[in-house]
Amino acid sequence: MSNFDKAGYGADNIGIGEKCALLIVDFQNGFTDAESQIGGSSHVNAAVDKTAELVTFARSVDMPIASCRTSWSGPDEMSYWKVAPLFDGGFFHGHKFTEIDPRLSDPDNHFEFIKSAPSIFFLTPLLTWLTKHNIDTTIITGCTTSGCIRASVIDSFSYGYRTIVAEDCCGDQDADAHADNIRDVGRRYADIMTCQEIIAALS
């Protein structure tokens, strides 16, 4: 028996409920474009491509899709971030780094909105939208796994949603941080599935 089993981890999966929504967190140019100081990660970009596959499937089964991006009006709107490049203007309203990556941008079919904190839930219209669509299960994708994805997973769990993390649809600048956080939220808050496992389960 592992130490994690002794500590009470290793419960059965939560499972998928009656109605799912696909949530896409911060797949914006500031994290995917190599011109950005914190962009261009191959791990993040691979996750964007995998998420595009999941989006195609979600549309085919009429699954609601919500997508957020991080942007601020200026430093006064920002919390005490320890990520210096966030303050250089690239994440202020109107900059190209605040726009959703063109591989996933689809305002006609996705509910797209701006957030100002790590979690896709914090002070955003997401909860109202999920309620209107009678959602009980969130499928979370995006970046970065150790930051905004983890925060979003914890909030999804805390609000009582069945929470699925699409592991290969999440990316980070640090692959070890990605793996550590996927493992950790999978022990506590969410089911961890691949894109193909999600498609197979919902087909």
User: What are the pLDDT tens digits along the chain (203 aa)?
Assistant: 445 554 567 678 999 999 999 999 999 999 999 999 999 999 999 999 999 999 999 999 999 999 999 999 999 999 999 999 999 999 999 999 999 999 999 999 999 999 999 999 999 999 999 999 999 999 999 999 999 999 999 999 999 999 999 999 999 999 999 999 999 999 999 999 999 999 999 99
Contact residues for 165 (Cβ-Cβ < 8 A; gap 6+)? 140, 149, 153, 182, 185, 186, 190, 191, 192, 193
Cβ(141)–Cβ(168) below 8 Å:
no
- Structural domains of the chain, with CATH: 17-202 (3.40.50.850)
**Cα separation of 194 and 191, whole Å?**
10
Cβ(181)–Cβ(150) below 8 Å:
yes
The predicted pLDDT at position 92 comes to: 98
Count CA within 13 A, CB hemisphere, residue 113.
18
The pTM is what?
0.94
Q: Among candidates 164, 126, 166, which has minimal Cα distance to 143?
A: 166
The predicted pLDDT at position 8 comes to: 60
* 146's tokens: 């150790």
The predicted pLDDT at position 1 comes to: 40
